[in-house]
Amino acid sequence: MVIAIGNQKGGSGKSTIALNLAIKLLEFSDKVLVMDTDPQKSIESFTNIRESRNDCEKLPHFTLANRTGNITESLKQMVGIYDYVVIDTRGSDSQESRKAMICADKLLVPTTPSQLDIDVLIENLGRVKEIKDINENLSVSILMNKINPNPFLAKELADFKEAIFRINKSIGEDFTCLESSLCERISYKRAVSEGLGITEYIDIKAKNEFEAFFSEFLENLNQSKSA
Ligand SMILES: Nc1ncnc2c1ncn2[C@@H]1O[C@H](COP(=O)(O)OP(=O)(O)O)[C@@H](O)[C@H]1O
Ligand SMILES: [Mg+2]
């Protein structure tokens, strides 16, 4: 299964979600690959920290491949070897992100709730719609990330969903906006700096949120596969 994480917007949480998703997938298979197509190689620092931990041998590990340019051939090879391939893309409309979307079963679009992101999202989802002409089976999920955990600001979430609804309508698509969302929590940075996934970290709230997202994501994926 090939899962691409894409959004042109830098800072929306692509790399954070890619590595946490990969760590979570290690519970299901030891053949998990992260293909980092961003020349900044941001996932490498995480794997370096993880591999230098004293308890490194007790931890499960995903394989990291840094690839840029035309990733298609490399991807085809990896699909034969790994059960799950998670592709992290960079914050721009790049060759890598287009190739990733063309080859993927699933596209996850993390988005933060600022208006600026919504504008980028309209452009971004318009492009995804074009990719779907080629990769008809691509299942697309939008994940709201960095939501303010203050319940008084729940309006932020409602406004966000409304905006996605309007975008879908304007481009004539029905991309799923996941019910579960990820809050802005310092634990994401802390876990990464310790070489741990959020589901391995001490922050139970953050862990539960990520688990809820993961279950919904898998459910959606299975539904779209059986459709
Ligand atoms: N849910 C979250 N809560 C707190 N910080 C987050 C969250 N998601 C991402 N971040 C932080 O936001 C910054 C950008 O995230 P990153 O994953 O690098 O985004 P991208 O890969 O899309 O550019 C990083 O410092 C990361 O730790
Ligand atoms: Mg990144």
Instruction: Tell me the pLDDT band of 9, cut-offs 50, 70 and 90.
Output: confident
Instruction: Tell me the pLDDT band of 72, cut-offs 50, 70 and 90.
Output: very high
Main-chain dihedrals φ then ψ at residue 80, nearest 5 degrees: -75, -20
Mean pLDDT of the chain: 92
Nearest CA, atom 14, ligand 1: 11
pTM attached to this predicted model: 0.95
Query: Is residue 227 included in any domain, yes or no?
Result: no
Query: Is residue 194 included in any domain, yes or no?
Result: yes
What pLDDT shows up at residue 226?
62
**Cα-to-centroid distance, 62 and ligand 1 (Å):** 20
What pLDDT shows up at residue 225?
61
Instruction: Tell me the pLDDT band of 128, cut-offs 50, 70 and 90.
Output: very high
Most informative mutation of 8, 14, 16, 205 for ligand 1 (most atoms within 8 A of CB): 16
* Residue corresponding to tokens 């966000």: 160
- Encode pLDDT of 111-126 as tens digits: 988 777 777 888 889 9
Task: Give how many domains the chain has, as a whole number.
Answer: 1
Instruction: Tell me the pLDDT band of 154, cut-offs 50, 70 and 90.
Output: confident
Using the atom order of ligand 1, give the atom closest to the CA of residue 9: 22
Query: Is residue 189 included in any domain, yes or no?
Result: yes
Give the three-class secondary structure for 56: helix
Query: Is residue 92 included in any domain, yes or no?
Result: yes
- Rounded distance, CA 101 to CA 5, Å? 9
* Nearest by Cα to 88 from 60, 68, 58: 68
Using the atom order of ligand 1, give the atom closest to the CA of residue 12: 22
Mean pLDDT of 198-210: 98
Contacts (Cβ under 8 Å, ≥6 apart) of 82: 31, 32, 33, 63
Mean pLDDT of 85-100: 91
- Rounded distance, CA 106 to CA 132, Å? 11
The boundaries of the domain holding residue 61 are: 2-220
Query: Is residue 33 included in any domain, yes or no?
Result: yes
Position with higher pLDDT, 7 vs 221? 7
CATH of residue 190's domain is 3.40.50.300
Using the atom order of ligand 1, give the atom closest to the CA of residue 145: 1
Amino acid at 5: I
- Encode pLDDT of 15-56 as tens digits: 999 999 999 999 999 999 999 999 999 999 999 999 999 999
Query: Is residue 225 included in any domain, yes or no?
Result: no
